C-alpha cells in the first residue's frame, strides 16, 4: 500500500481529541498566534508528562517520545505567551516537587540516629543548562529544558564546549546510556536519558546561534524540530481571554498522563506500511541532498516514530479503529504530514543559516570539528582508522588553527 506525500504548509490537528482541538483553537484566537506553535507546545508538554512510561517498538527499535522543539518567529509575534500558559501545569508540578523536597529534607535532617539518604527533587524541567545541572537532573529522572529564548541554552553550551557537552547531548537525544566522570566528584551514570527541549528564537538570531559548524556537522541542528511559520499573524489589541474550562481541563489532562501505566505501543500492518513508504522516500531524497539535509532526513526517520507516540495519546478515541496499544494507519499518515511540515521548516532554517550553500567540509575541517565535539577526548588512531588516513594526518588536522 502506498500513501501520497504532499507538501505540508501547516500541522494538521483535525483528528485529535475534540477537547485538544478546542484548546488549540481557543489559544490561537486569544493570543492571535500561529497554530503550529500551540500544537508543538502541546506535543512537548505531553511528551515530558508521559516521558519513558510510553514507548514504541517498530519491530526492530524502541523509541521514547522525546523531542527537541524550537519556535522561530519575530519579536512581538506572541510566540512566548501561549507557550508559557501551556507550560503552566509543569510549572505547578515543579513547585509541588520543590515543596515536597524541602519537607522531606527537613525530615532527613532530624537527628533520629538513622543515616537517611538525601532526598531527590523530582522536578520535571530545568532552566539551568550548565552540563552539571543537566547531567545531575537526568541521572534522577526524565527532564525538559524550557528556555523562552533558546539562544541562551546554546550560548551555555558554547561556554562549556571543552566538557564534551555537545557530544553528550547527541547521546541524550539518542537515549544512549553514558557515564560522567569528574575529578572532584563521584561518577554519575545516566541510563537511557530522556530529555525534551522547548524554546523559541527570532529569525535574525538563527545564523549566529545555529550556524556554528560544530552544531551543523555533528547533527545537533538536525535533531531539532523547527517551527517556522511562513506568515505570522498580526497581533492586535484584544481583551479576549481563554475560556474558563480550558486551563482546568489542560491541567487535569497533564496530571492524568503522569499516572499512565508503562505501555509498549506497536505499529499496525497498515501503519508499518505507511512508515516504510515515508522512510524509503527519505532514502531517495538523501541520494541528491548535501550533507546537512541528509542528516535532516535521517533524523526525521526516527523522529516520526517519537511523534507518533504523542499523536496516539492525543488521537480521537471514539474512532472505530482506535486501539489502545496499536498505532493505526491514519495516525501514521497524520504523523507523516507533520514530518513534511518539519522538513520544510528545516530547509527554511537551513537557508537562513547559510543561504543553502552548505556542501559539507573538507576532511581536515571535519576531523577538527569531530575532535572538538568530543572535547578532545578521542583516540586519534581510532579516528584515523575510521577515516582511512594516518594518525599523523589526524594529529596535524586537529591541531591546525585555521579552518577556513
What number does CATH give the domain 18-354? 3.40.50
301's grid cell = 526517520
What is the rounded distance in angstroms from the CA atom of residue 158 to the CA atom of residue 71?
Answer: 21
> Which of 295, 286, 278 is CA-nearest to residue 340?
278
What is the pLDDT, as a whole number, of residue 53? 97
pLDDT at 5: 42
Residue-wise pLDDT for 10-19, tens only, equals: 899 999 999 9
pTM above 0.75, yes or no: yes
CA–CA separation, 55 and 180 (whole Å): 26
Q: Which of 41-50, 51-60, 149-158 has the lowest mean pLDDT?
A: 149-158
**Higher-confidence residue: 270 or 368?**
270
- Name every residue whose Cβ is closer than 8 Å to that of residue 245 and which is 6 or more positions away in sequence: none
pLDDT digits (tens, 9 = 90+) for 332-370: 999 999 999 999 999 999 999 987 554 444 556 556 656
* Higher-scoring residue by pLDDT: 229, 385: 229
Can you give the residue ranges of every domain in the chain? 18-354, 366-398
Q: Helices 18-31 and 81-109 sit at what angle, rounded to 10 degrees?
A: 110
Of 216, 89, 231, 192, which is closest to residue 146 (Cα–Cα)? Answer: 89
pLDDT above 70: residue 114: no
Label residue 404 exposed, middle or buried (CB < 10 Å: 0-12, 13-18, 19+). exposed
Of 111-120, 176-185, 296-305, least confident by mean pLDDT is 111-120
User: How many residues are there in the chain?
Assistant: 404
pLDDT, residue 22, reads 97
| Mean pLDDT (the chain, rounded) | 87
pLDDT in the model for residue 391 = 79
For position 40, what pLDDT does the model report? 98
The answer for residues whose C-beta is within 8 angstroms of residue 315's C-beta and 6 or more apart is: 15, 16, 17, 322, 328, 331
CA atoms of 292 and 86, how far apart (whole Å): 33
Q: Tell me how far apart the alpha carbons of residues 53 and 295 are, in angstroms, rounded to a whole number.
A: 28
Q: How far is CA 375 from the centre of its chain?
A: 23
The answer, yes or no, to whether residue 1 has pLDDT greater than 80, is no
* In the predicted structure, residue 385 carries a pLDDT above the cut 60: no
Amino acid at each position: 500500500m502506498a500513501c501520497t506525500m504532499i507538501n505540508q504548509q501547516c500541522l494538521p490537528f483535525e483528528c485529535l481529541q475534540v477537547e485538544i482541538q478546542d484548546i488549540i483553537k481557543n489559544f490561537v484566537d486569544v493570543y492571535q498566534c500561529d497554530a503550529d506553535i500551540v500544537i508543538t507546545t502541546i506535543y512537548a508538554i505531553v511528551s515530558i508528562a508521559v516521558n519513558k512510561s510510553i514507548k514504541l517498538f517498530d519491530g526492530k527499535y524502541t523509541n521514547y517520545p522525546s523531542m527537541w522543539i524550537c519556535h522561530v518567529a519575530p519579536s512581538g509575534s506572541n510566540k512566548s505567551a501561549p507557550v508559557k500558559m501551556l507550560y503552566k501545569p509543569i510549572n505547578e508540578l515543579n513547585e509541588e516537587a520543590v515543596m515536597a523536597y524541602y519537607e522531606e529534607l527537613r525530615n532527613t535532617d532530624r537527628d533520629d540516629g538513622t543515616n537517611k539518604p538525601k532526598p531527590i527533587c523530582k522536578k520535571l524541567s530545568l532552566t539551568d543548562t550548565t552540563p552539571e545541572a543537566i547531567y545531575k537532573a537526568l541521572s534522577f529522572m526524565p527532564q525538559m529544558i524550557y528556555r523562552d529564548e533558546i539562544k541562551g541554552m546554546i550560548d551555555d553550551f558554547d561556554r562549556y564546549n571543552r566538557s564534551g557537552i555537545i557530544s553528550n547531548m547527541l547521546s541524550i537525544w539518542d537515549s544512549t546510556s553514558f557515564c560522567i566522570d569528574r575529578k572532584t566528584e563521584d561518577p554519575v551514570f545516566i541510563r537511557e536519558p530522556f530529555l525534551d527541549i522547548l524554546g523559541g528564537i527570532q529569525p535574525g538570531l538563527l545564523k549566529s546561534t545555529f550556524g556554528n559548524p560544530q552544531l551543523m556537522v555533528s547533527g545537533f541542528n538536525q535533531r531539532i524540530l523547527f517551527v517556522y511559520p511562513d506568515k505570522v499573524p498580526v497581533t492586535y489589541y484584544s481583551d479576549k481571554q481563554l475560556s474558563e474550562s480550558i486551563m482546568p481541563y489542560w491541567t487535569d489532562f497533564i496530571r492524568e498522563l503522569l499516572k499512565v501505566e508503562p505501555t509498549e505501543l506497536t505499529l499496525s500492518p497498515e501503519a508499518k506500511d505507511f512508515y516504510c513508504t515515508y522512510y524509503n522516500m527519505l532514502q531517495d531524497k538523501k541520494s541528491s541532498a548535501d550533507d546537512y539535509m541528509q542528516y535532516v532526513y535521517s533524523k526525521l526517520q526516527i523522529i516520526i516514530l517519537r511523534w507518533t507516540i504523542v499523536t496516539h495519546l492525543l488521537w480521537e478515541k471514539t474512532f472505530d479503529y482506535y486501539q489502545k496499544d496499536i498505532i493505526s494507519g491514519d495516525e501514521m499518515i497524520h504523523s507523516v504530514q507533520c514530518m513534511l511540515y518539519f522538513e520544510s521548516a528545516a530547509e527554511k532554517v537551513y537557508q537562513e543559516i547559510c543561504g543553502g550553500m552548505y556542501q559539507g567540509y573538507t576532511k581536515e575541517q571535519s576531523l577538527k570539528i569531530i575532535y572538538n565535539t568530543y572535547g578532545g577526548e578521542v583516540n586519534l588512531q581510532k579516528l584515523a582508522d575510521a577515516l582511512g588516513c594516518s594518525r599523523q594526518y589526524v594529529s596535524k588536522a586537529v591541531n591546525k588553527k585555521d579552518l577556513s
